[in-house]
Chain A
């Protein structure tokens, strides 16, 4: 599954983040974060609210600049990776453009890369197929359910085959059933594309079901509390009833309790 060979996907080296630095209202969000994510891995960041997990994701994506340490993505600085358009991003709210049809939404990043219309059409058709929304290309986002919109958002993020996919609680706004379905879909897509995923969540079962590794963060300032390996093999709907799944969830839950994060 790994396409990056020996080069790690993400290296976070001694990263600290202080908001409003130099003013009276300084907030230390992250402190001394060290983290290496291998290419092709599915890694989840979990922690109580205020632990800086979204901040860490934004630092990896160069949407924020750390006040200490550095981040590299596939051997480049996070900044070079962003300007080189190396990663796709999915937010809690699908964030589709209302005025564009589903197809045009998926093609947005391709337009910004000056793809030809023919190539864009071909790729968006492929992506619609991947997220199983073939018939909805000519619909407007508002005509779709929340889960379908989020699938479009994933298709948009994957359309240009980014090596890294950053996801910030993408299923947080969905109901439980849709959420479980989307988790299955995401794992299928991850299996088909072999991309690296960094996934922020506050759901224990989501973290256990999706990831190879779970990074548990402790709050104020955010630090890496523990890293939990999860090995459940191929995930199927039955995995959710597997004793190993419960064991993984329990390990994560205990780690969260010890950092003071009541889920």
Chain B
């Protein structure tokens, strides 16, 4: 579908000399082979060889290796961010004061541009002698904890008063209510947040790699290919496709986990 649109637009532009058909108005994106390489050329680039250190290997394998590295950073970011997000939500649930005190800061945290924050985190990390992968994971964490914290809080507050009163009538301590009622009830709220967090964790890892200047990872590949874009645009597009595929992969993993955890129980018998 995208390929058809892409090639259709390109074809149209080349027929009209870069204008909207029947007008002298320029198309918003030029259709030449540097700005918009043919989809087939991008695909071909994926199987053609690239030098990686001393060996050569197909670009797709090269990207896969880089993606594996990025995935590890993203995974750390995802799990750490989710844990922090749920932890913050529990804290805000337990103490109203915490909700009033923390929630505005959690919101503000996401208005700080990541690009500005990344070098700070890296500099701190290097000062402490931490490897760059830790700093990148922290940048990824910074993006992922937010949707989880907000949704988890809503989910933990979701049980209605009858459920809460029931637990009270059993004289259930706060912790028991949390584990037997609030956390299970929060699951339908958590999984959509996990999906957003998972894709954000990849974005965070890539942005982290780019702003740190690591030696490997998808971000590094994108940065290198971007520098050579004028002569070799297919490679940048291929690496963007790689990044998107990685995002889809983690999204798919969460969707699978969701299906395992939230069994379908909506069929009606009686």
Contacts and interface: CB of A to CB of B under 8 A. Distances in A.
Interface of A: 58, 61, 63, 82-85, 87-89, 91-93, 95, 97-99, 108-109, 111-112, 139-140, 142-145, 148, 166
Contact of A109 (B165, B168, B170, B269): B170
B135 to A, nearest CB: 38
A144 to B, nearest CB: 5
A82 to B, nearest CB: 5
Nearest to A88: B169
A148 B270 CA distance: 9
A160 to B, nearest CB: 9
A140 B264 CA distance: 10
Interface in B200-240: none
Given A82-B171, A97-B184, 4 more contacts: A85-B171, A99-B187, A109-B170, A142-B265
A164 B49 CA distance: 78
Nearest 8 A/B pairs, CB to CB: A140-B265, A95-B162, A145-B270, A89-B169, A143-B269, A83-B171, A91-B162, A99-B184
Interface residues of B, number: 23
B182 to A, nearest CB: 11
29 contacts: A63-B168, A63-B169, A82-B168, A85-B170, A88-B169, A89-B166, A89-B169, A91-B165, A91-B166, A92-B162, A93-B160, A95-B160, A95-B162, A95-B163, A97-B180, A97-B181, A99-B184, A99-B185, A99-B265, A108-B170, A108-B180, A111-B180, A112-B172, A142-B268, A143-B267, A144-B269, A145-B270, A148-B270, A166-B169
Contacts of A145: 270
Given A99-B184, A109-B170, A112-B172, A143 B165 contact: no
B52 interface: no
Contacts of B169: 61, 63, 82, 87-89, 166
Nearest to B176: A112
A143 B185 CA distance: 18
Contacts of B181: 97
Nearest to A83: B171
